[in-house]
Amino acid sequence: MLHLSIQYLAIPVLVGVVVLWRLLKVGQRPKGMPPGPPTIPILGNLHQMPKESPHLQFQKWAEEYGPVYSLMLGTKPTIVLSSDVAVKDLLDKKGGIYSDRPDMFISQRVASGNHRLVVMRYGETWRLIHKLVHNILNIKVAAKYIPYQDLENKVLLAGLLDTPDALFNHIRRFSYSLSTQMIFGFRCPDFADPMLKRLFETVETWGVVSASGVAQVADLYPIVQKLPHFLVPTVSQAKKVHEVGRELYTGHWLKAKQGLKDGTGLPCFCNDLLLAQKSEELSDEAVGYIVGSLLEGGSDTTSSTLYAFVLAMMVWPEVQKKAQEEIDRVVGPDRLPEVDDYPNLPYIRCCVKETLRWMPTVILGVPHSVIQDDTYKGWVIPKGATVINNVWTIHMDPKRSPEPRRFNPDRFANDPTTLYQSANGEPMDRDNFNFGAGRRLCQGIHIAERSLFLGMSRILWGFNVSQPLGTATPDIDDLVGGITVHPRPYKVDIKPRSTKTVKIIRTAVKDCEDLVHPDSGQWKKVPDGMVFGSWKPDSKVKV
Residue 475's Cβ-count burial label (10 Å; 0-12, 13-18, 19+) is: exposed
Q: Does residue 539 carry a pLDDT above 60? A: no
Mean pLDDT for 207-230 is 78
User: What was the pLDDT predicted at 296?
Assistant: 86
User: What was the pLDDT predicted at 158?
Assistant: 96
Quickly count: other Cβ atoms within 10 Å of residue 263's Cβ.
6
Of residues 123 and 391, more confidently modeled:
391
Mean pLDDT for 425-437 is 95
Domain locations in the chain? 101-359+406-513
Of residues 126 and 336, more confidently modeled:
336
Mean pLDDT for 390-394 is 97
User: What was the pLDDT predicted at 436?
Assistant: 94
Query: Comparing 112-126, 414-428, 434-448, which segment has the lowest mean pLDDT?
Result: 112-126
Residues 433, 357: Cα–Cα separation, whole Å: 8
Averaged pLDDT score across all residues of the chain? 88
User: What was the pLDDT predicted at 537?
Assistant: 56
Q: Does residue 235 carry a pLDDT above 90? A: no
- Give the H or E element holding residue 313: helix 284-315
Residues 136, 145: Cα–Cα separation, whole Å: 11
Q: 3-state DSSP call for residue 224?
A: helix
Degrees, nearest 5: CA angle 230-233-234: 145
3-state DSSP percent of the chain in helix, strand and coil, to 5: 60, 10, 35
Residues 139, 242: Cα–Cα separation, whole Å: 32
Q: Which has the closest alpha carbon to 126: 459, 362, 304, 371?
A: 371
Region for 44 from its dihedrals, namely left if φ exceeds 0, alpha if ψ lies in -120 to 50, beta otherwise: left
DSSP state of 42: T
C-alpha 509: how far from chain center: 30
Q: Which of 201-215, 423-437, 528-542 reaches the highest mean pLDDT? A: 423-437
Residues 9, 303: Cα–Cα separation, whole Å: 67
Residues 200 and 300 sit within 8 Å (Cβ to Cβ): yes
Query: Comparing 356-365, 367-376, 479-488, which segment has the lowest mean pLDDT?
Result: 479-488
User: What was the pLDDT predicted at 16?
Assistant: 47
Q: Which has the closest alpha carbon to 484: 443, 435, 432?
A: 435
User: What was the pLDDT predicted at 175?
Assistant: 93
Query: Comparing 97-111, 373-387, 410-424, 465-479, which segment has the lowest mean pLDDT?
Result: 97-111
User: What was the pLDDT predicted at 4?
Assistant: 46
Region for 281 from its dihedrals, namely left if φ exceeds 0, alpha if ψ lies in -120 to 50, beta otherwise: left
What pLDDT digit, counting tens, does each position of 38-89 carry?
Answer: 999 988 998 898 888 999 999 999 999 999 999 998 888 999 999 999 999 9
Q: Does residue 533 carry a pLDDT above 70? A: no
- Give the H or E element holding residue 375: strand 374-376
Residues 292 and 245 sit within 8 Å (Cβ to Cβ): yes
Mean pLDDT for 522-526 is 79
Degrees, nearest 5: CA angle 180-362-390: 155
Pairing of strands 386-389, 76-81: parallel
Q: Does residue 17 carry a pLDDT above 50? A: no
Q: Which has the closest alpha carbon to 359: 318, 310, 289, 319?
A: 310
Quickly count: other Cβ atoms within 10 Å of residue 343's Cβ.
8
Residues 360 and 393 sit within 8 Å (Cβ to Cβ): no
Q: Which has the closest alpha carbon to 84: 345, 525, 394, 487?
A: 394
Q: 3-state DSSP call for residue 140?
A: helix
Q: 3-state DSSP call for residue 367?
A: coil
Residues 299, 455: Cα–Cα separation, whole Å: 14
Report the topology of domain 101-359+406-513.
Cytochrome p450 (1.10.630)
User: What was the pLDDT predicted at 237?
Assistant: 87
DSSP secondary structure of 442-489? -TTHHHHHHHHHHHHHHHHHHEEEEPPTT-PPP-TT-EEESSSEEEPP
List residues bridging with 487 in a β-sheet: 479
What pLDDT digit, counting tens, does each position of 153-209 carry?
Answer: 999 999 999 999 999 999 999 999 999 988 888 898 998 888 888 888 888 888 888
Residues 58, 80: Cα–Cα separation, whole Å: 8
User: What was the pLDDT predicted at 396?
Assistant: 98
Residues 310, 296: Cα–Cα separation, whole Å: 22
Query: Comparing 22-36, 91-105, 324-338, 529-543, which segment has the lowest mean pLDDT?
Result: 529-543
Q: Does residue 339 carry a pLDDT above 70? A: yes
Q: Which has the closest alpha carbon to 151: 474, 462, 458?
A: 458
What pLDDT digit, counting tens, does each position of 291-310 carry?
Answer: 888 888 888 889 999 999 99
**b/e per residue, 15-43, with b = 16+ CB within 10 A?**
eeeeeeeeeeeebebeeebbebbebeebb
Residue length of the chain: 543
Q: Does residue 21 carry a pLDDT above 90? A: no
Residues 322 and 330 sit within 8 Å (Cβ to Cβ): no
| 188 assigned binding-site residue | no
372 — pLDDT class (breaks 50, 70, 90): very high
